[in-house]
Amino acid sequence: MNLLCPICGFQLNQRERQFVCPQNHSFDMARQGYVNLLTVQQKHSLNPGDTREQVLSRREFLEAGYYAPILDALTAEAKRLGISGQILDVGCGEGYYSARLADALGAELTGLDISKEAVRWAAAKYKGKQWLCATAAHIPVADGSADLLTSLFALTLPEEFHRVLKPGGCYFQVLAAEDHLLGLKGIIYDRLHFKEKNTVPELPGFELVRSVPIRFAFTVEGQQVRNLFAMTPHVFRIGKEGAERLRKTEVLTDTASCVLNVFRRT
C-alpha cells in the first residue's frame, strides 16, 4: 500500500530500508521489519496503545486458537463477498487475525497499531506484510487504498476509514457483545452490571450489509486464564478481592460473544 509522510502528507518512496518523502522527511524500517510513522505530536504518552504485558498475553492466548471461530467468521464473510486486493487492519495488535485472513484470501496486508510492542511482534512473526506503528486518527496511506478495512475489538473512526477505503470497499467491525465473557466477569466483580450496548452502530458514509453474531464456549486453564484476563479492559478495573478470586481460578469455562458488522463504503 502506498504510504504517506505523517509530517507533510506527501507520498513516501521506499529506498531499501528507508522511506523518504519529497520534503526529505525519512523513516527507517526497524530491524523487525515494521515502520514507525507515529510522530511525537500524535503520541499522547511515551508508549501509547497496548503494553508489552497485554501484547504478550493476547499473543499467547490467540495463538493457542481459542478465538479461531472469530477468524473463521471473518474469513467466511470475506470469501462470500469475494474480497481480494488490499486489506488494511487498524488496531491490528500482533496481527493474529489479519495475517491469517490475508493468507486465506491471497490478499496483501497492511496492519497498523499505535503500540510499538504490538507491531514489533506482528512484523517478527508474519513476513511479507506491511506493518506500521501509526495512529488510526491519521492513517498514513493514500485515499482509496483499501479493498477491505478491518478493526477488530479496536476503534472505529468513520471519516478516516471512509477516506482510505476504495469506493464500494468493505469495513469489517468486530465488537464485543453485552454477554461477552460473563464467566470471567462473574469472578472479578461482586455484582454484574448490565449496560445496554449498541453493537450495530450507524456509521456515516457506510451502509450495513449484514451483522453476524459470533458466540462460542471455550475452556482455559492456568496461565491462559490470566492471559485472557490481561487481554480485556477489566485489567484497569479489577479490585483487590476480584484479583484474589482470579488468582485462585485454575480452570474457567466461558462464552465469547461478539458481533461482526459488515459495512460497505457508500
Ligand X SMILES: C[S@@+](CC[C@H](N)C(=O)[O-])C[C@H]1O[C@@H](n2cnc3c(N)ncnc32)[C@H](O)[C@@H]1O
> Which residues contribute to the site for ligand X (CB under 6 A)?
49-50, 58, 91-93, 96-97, 113-115, 118, 135-137, 152-155
User: Looking at 13, 14, 23, 219, which residue binds Zn ion (CB under 5 A)?
Assistant: 23
Binding segment for Zn ion (CB under 5 A), chosen from 5-13, 62-70, 179-187, 219-227, is 5-13
Residue placing its CB nearer to ligand X in the complex, 68 or 136: 136
Residue nearest to Zn ion (CB): 5
Three-class DSSP labels, 210-263? EEEEEEEEEEEECHHHHHHHHHCHHHHCCCHHHHHHHHCCCEEEEEEEEEEEEE
Closest approach of ligand X to the CB of residue 36, in Å = 13
DSSP H stretches of helix in 106-149: 116-125
Residue 154, all three cell numbers: 479496536
- For residue 176, list its beta bridge partners: 258
Closest approach of ligand X to the CB of residue 146, in Å = 15
Residue 166 lies near Zn ion (rule: CB under 5 A):
no
CA angle 260, 51, 40 (to 5 degrees): 100
Distance CA 63, CA 59 (A): 6
Residue placing its CB nearer to Zn ion in the complex, 7 or 104: 7
Q: Which does 96 bind (CB under 5 to 8 A by kind): ligand X, Zn ion, none?
A: ligand X
Cβ neighbours around 45 below 10 Å, total: 7
Residue placing its CB nearer to ligand X in the complex, 97 or 263: 97
Distance CA 165, CA 87 (A): 9
DSSP conformational letter for 153: S
Closest approach of ligand X to the CB of residue 244, in Å = 25
Residue 172, all three cell numbers: 469489517
**Cα–Cα distance list, 48 to 6, 28, 44, 133, 231 (Å):** 17, 20, 7, 10, 16
Residue 245 lies near Zn ion (rule: CB under 5 A):
no
Residue placing its CB nearer to ligand X in the complex, 113 or 147: 113
Closest approach of ligand X to the CB of residue 114, in Å = 4
Distance CA 92, CA 31 (A): 19
Closest approach of ligand X to the CB of residue 174, in Å = 7
User: Looking at 1, 4, 5, 132, which residue binds Zn ion (CB under 5 A)?
Assistant: 5
Q: Which does 76 bind (CB under 5 to 8 A by kind): ligand X, Zn ion, none?
A: none
Closest approach of ligand X to the CB of residue 173, in Å = 11
Residue 7 lies near Zn ion (rule: CB under 5 A):
yes
Q: Could you list the residues that contact Zn ion (CB under 5 A)?
A: 5, 7-8, 21, 23, 25
